[in-house]
């Protein structure tokens, strides 16, 4: 017909639709335009041109086409639905809901519109409203697997994990290989720490479709949390071969390397993340931690300073800055950082303990003990705080109170060699030599290193000629 009449509308439209069905969308668009030059308001031509534009990711132009369809035919279901899907795909969730609502005004039980509206409500974190839409679908079609699955997603966000897992299991009873259900169930299991079960689910997904979403990422997360660090690193490496710039995998690989003590390599991973996302807080933080372990204190401080430029009250970075400057012997400065934390979080246990240490390091043992008492009000059986308090009381000459602290530690852990050794020193300064040697004997039996420590300790100099002491240390 085109050979006879190149302006034959039906033939032009038919050829355009045929080309679109063959995925030759650019050629199809050429024929849609020719058809629309003859009949600019033809609904079929406008609609199918919109669909071809969607297929080549020209969403804004597709929206114009669907709007022209709706100008001609106000309630054209497919134009409305595709318009909603475009808004869904480009992240304009409120606009997507408006499109789906237009469909639901005409048909309150339209399953596709209800389901996709539920998805959009989940994206907007309106989880109860999302559940209402999925429930409406399930009233009409009780075995609608996608609604069952995404109702479970809503329940996970509401921390209703037990109910969520019941819905995931129901979806998987209906479709054992449903990737959406398997994938989202994996995420739920990771959230509640069931890493073995999560690994089983995500491996199932990977077997069915290795390219599905970020299965390798979640596989690596599960393996890492199970302590299988070599396997986790191998999986993240596999993911990074496919997508070298994957931020999540780079960060997690960095964390695995950090955990196995490969800090130079972990810093390289964090740097790769920060090249793309300079404000990635966790990469900055753990880069700082790795650099501190490597003794690169100035560089570590810079990482935490960058974090504090982004989040002025990031207590974790303030704490790290305090610890680093304390290592550098700048104890007054470290106290300033710990005080900044305690202004906003007066019960921050670690900040209280570290401030106590810094105070002791500048000779303010009385103030240090006061802070340790605050810490022990929060955690009465904290062994570290009790040992520190006992040690500082010993330095202050308060041996009776020091022994009380060491005895509290030994009530919690009778084999704590540190407490036994320090108790031995306090007993010695009280003149209780036999009791002191008994405590020292126990400490050195548990940890022989205390023999060498005792030889060099100034408190034990007075016992150098004591036969029982010499037997213990030799």
pLDDT over 70 percentage in the chain: 99
* Predicted confidence (pLDDT) per residue in 273-318, tens digit: 999 999 999 999 999 999 999 999 999 999 999 999 999 989 999 9
Helices and strands per DSSP (H, E), number in the chain: 28, 0
What's the mean pLDDT when you consider all of the chain? 94
Fold of 408-474: 1.25.40
Summarize the confidence of residues 424-446 as an average pLDDT. 95
Which sequence spans correspond to the domains of the chain?
A: 408-474
Residue written as token pair 């030994």:
410
The answer to whether 151 touches 184, Cβ cutoff 8 Å, is no
| pLDDT score recorded for residue 474 | 85
Determine which helix (DSSP H) or strand (DSSP E) holds 310, and give its type and residue range: helix 297-310
Confidence of residue 75 (pLDDT cuts 50, 70, 90): confident
Confidence of residue 3 (pLDDT cuts 50, 70, 90): very low
Dist. CA 18–CA 381, nearest whole Å: 77
| pLDDT score recorded for residue 6 | 57
Q: Taking the complete model, does pTM exceed 0.85, yes or no? A: no
Summarize the confidence of residues 363-372 as an average pLDDT. 95
| pLDDT score recorded for residue 461 | 87
C-alpha of 414 from chain center: 38
Higher pLDDT, 171 or 10: 171
List b or e across 308-328, with b for residues whose CB sees 16 or more CB atoms inside 10 angstroms: beeeeebbbbbbbbbbbbbee
């Amino acid at each position: 017909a085109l050979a006879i009449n190149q302006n034959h509308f039906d033939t032009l439209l038919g050829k355009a639709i045929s080309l679109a069905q063959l995925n030759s969308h650019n050629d199809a668009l050429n024929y849609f335009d020719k058809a629309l030059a003859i009949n600019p308001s033809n609904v079929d031509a406008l609609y199918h041109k919109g669909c071809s534009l969607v297929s080549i990711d020209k969403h804004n132009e597709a929206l114009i086409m669907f709007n022209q369809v709706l100008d001609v035919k106000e309630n054209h279901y497919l134009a409305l639905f595709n318009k909603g899907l475009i808004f869904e795909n480009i992240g304009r969730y409120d606009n997507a809901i408006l499109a789906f609502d237009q469909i639901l005004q005409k048909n309150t039980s339209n399953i596709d519109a209800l389901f996709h509206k539920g998805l959009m409500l989940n994206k907007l974190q309106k989880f109860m409203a999302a559940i209402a839409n999925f429930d409406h679908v399930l009233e009409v079609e009780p075995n609608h697997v996608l609604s069952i699955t995404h109702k479970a997603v809503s329940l996970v966000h509401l921390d209703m994990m037990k109910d969520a897992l019941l819905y995931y299991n129901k979806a998987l009873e209906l479709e054992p290989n449903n990737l959406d259900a398997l994938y989202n169930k994996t995420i739920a299991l990771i959230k509640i720490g069931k890493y073995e079960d999560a690994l089983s689910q995500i491996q199932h997904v990977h077997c069915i479709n290795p390219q599905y979403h970020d299965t390798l990422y979640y596989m690596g997360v599960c393996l890492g949390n199970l302590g299988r660090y070599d396997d986790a690193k191998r999986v993240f490496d596999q993911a990074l071969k496919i997508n070298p710039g994957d931020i999540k995998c780079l960060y997690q690989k960095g964390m695995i390397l950090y955990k196995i003590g490969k800090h130079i390599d972990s810093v390289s991973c964090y740097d790769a993340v920060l090249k793309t996302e300079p404000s990635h807080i966790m990469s900055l933080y753990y880069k700082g931690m790795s650099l501190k372990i490597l003794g690169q204190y100035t560089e570590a401080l810079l990482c935490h300073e960058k974090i504090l430029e982004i989040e002025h009250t990031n207590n974790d970075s303030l704490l790290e800055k305090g610890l680093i400057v304390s290592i550098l012997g700048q104890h007054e400065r470290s106290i300033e950082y710990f005080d900044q934390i305690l202004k906003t979080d007066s019960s921050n246990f670690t900040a209280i303990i570290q401030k106590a240490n810094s105070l002791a390091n500048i000779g303010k043992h009385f103030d240090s003990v006061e802070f340790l008492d605050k810490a022990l009000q929060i955690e009465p059986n904290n062994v570290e705080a009790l040992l520190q308090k006992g040690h500082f009381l010993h330095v202050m000459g308060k041996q009776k109170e020091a022994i009380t602290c060491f005895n509290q530690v030994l009530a919690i852990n009778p084999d704590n060699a540190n407490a036994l050794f320090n108790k031995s020193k306090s007993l010695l300064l009280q003149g209780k030599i036999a009791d002191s040697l008994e405590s020292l004997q126990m400490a050195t039996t548990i940890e022989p290193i205390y023999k060498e420590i005792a030889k060099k300790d100034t408190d034990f100099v007075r016992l150098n000629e004591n036969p029982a002491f010499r037997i213990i240390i030799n």
